[in-house]
Amino acid sequence: MKALITTKVGMTSTIAENGEVEAITLLLVEPNVISQVKTTENDGYSAVQVGTGNAKLGKALAGHFKLAKIMPKIVREFRVQEITEDLKVGETINPEVFSVGDNVSATGISKGKGWAGTIKRHNFHRGRKTHGGRSYRRPGSIGSMYPQHIFKGKRMAGQMGHEQVTVRNLKVALIDTDNNVIGIKGAVPGPRKSTVIIRGTE
């Protein structure tokens, strides 16, 4: 199973053998422990539940994670095609499941930009500032007389960012097993210290 729960550390750059400078996002991989294995016979689908971090949990959740011997702060579930022998409760998933050059997808919560206007949020053009123009950054008309209401999905001012984003076709640039760090070529969604889910793609 090629999937990990990571924490975004920040970005750096490396110089390749041909002299090209590559931007790399560093992701910290704390121990990912399998807390539950779901099978088609019992649950209707095959999946692996993974937990990481340390938190103070209530009795119900503490009982659920008792077999895995963890008190995770973050828990995620990953679908798998089949349950293999190495996928057991209590087993740890290491960064070594990935190799340099592997294609991965990264899922995270994008940076929140707050309430933004149409120019910043949707790349609208501004109005002219000469020849009597008064509407500089206003959205302009939002509809005609009929049918007397605004259609859903109209591009207007509103909350920008802070939503789940998945970036596909990224490549693993480096794997540091001593520091439990994975380097992904390019940008990964989310601010520093945010949770990023890495999944392998074929």
Q: Which tokens is 47 given?
A: 């999946």
DSSP structural state of residue 95? G
pLDDT at 201: 86
d(CA 33, CA 4): 10
Rounded to a whole number of angstroms, the distance between the first and last alpha carbons of the chain is 12
pLDDT at 87: 87
* pLDDT tens for each residue of the chain, 202 residues long: 899 999 999 999 998 888 989 999 999 999 999 999 999 999 999 999 999 999 899 999 999 999 888 899 999 999 998 888 888 898 999 899 999 999 999 999 999 999 999 999 999 999 999 999 999 999 999 988 899 999 999 999 999 999 999 999 999 999 999 999 999 999 999 999 999 999 998 6
d(CA 37, CA 190): 29
Q: Which tokens is 92 given?
A: 């740890």
What residue ranges define each of the domains in the chain, with the CATH number in brackets?
3-113+164-200 (2.40.30.10), 114-160 (no CATH)
Element (H, E) at 14: strand 3-15
pLDDT at 185: 95
Beta-carbon neighbour count of residue 29 at 10 Å? 24
Q: Where are the beta strands (DSSP E) in 66-155?
A: 74-79, 92-93, 103-109, 114-116
Looking at the DSSP assignment, which residues form a beta bridge with residue 196? Answer: 6, 108
If phi > 0 it is left, if psi is from -120 to 50 it is alpha, else beta; for residue 17 that is alpha
pLDDT at 31: 92
d(CA 175, CA 182): 5
d(CA 16, CA 22): 7
Report in angstroms the alpha-carbon separations of 180 from 16, 57, 61, 184.
Answer: 22, 26, 27, 13
By CB neighbour count within 10 A (0-12 exposed, 13-18 middle, 19+ buried), where does 11 fall? middle
